[in-house]
Amino acid sequence: MFNHKTTALATTALAAALAITVAGPSEGSSTVPISACGQTVTTNAVLTKDLICAGSNGINVAAAGITIDLKEFTISGDLSPGHSGIDDGGGYDGLAVKNGVLRNFAIGMFAFNGADHVSLSNLAASGNIAYGIYIGGASASVKSSTVAGNAKGVQVDGDSATSR
Per-residue pLDDT tens for 135-164?
A: 999 999 999 999 999 999 999 998 887 777
In a domain, 14, yes or no: no
**CA count, 13 A, side-chain hemisphere, 32:** 15
* In-domain check, residue 8: no
How much is the pTM? 0.81
The rounded distance, in Å, linking the Cα atoms of 162 and 142 is: 6
| Residue 90, domain member (yes or no) | yes
21 in any annotated domain: no
What is the structure's pLDDT at 29?
A: 57
Residue 3 belongs to some domain of the structure: no
Residue 7 pLDDT exceeds 50: no
Say whether pLDDT at 71 is over 50: yes
Q: What is residue 158's predicted lDDT score, i.e. its pLDDT?
A: 87
Indicate the number of domains in the chain: 1
The answer to the question of residue 105 being in a domain is: yes
Q: Does residue 7 lie in a domain region?
A: no
pLDDT value of position 24: 37
pLDDT at 37 over 90: yes
**How many angstroms separate the Cα of 28 from the Cα of each of 10, 23, 49, 119?**
27, 14, 21, 17
Task: Please determine, for residue 1, whether its predicted confidence score (pLDDT) is greater than 80.
Answer: no
68 is in which domain, residue-wise?
Answer: 27-163
In a domain, 76, yes or no: yes
**Could you tell me what percent of the chain has a pLDDT over 70?**
81
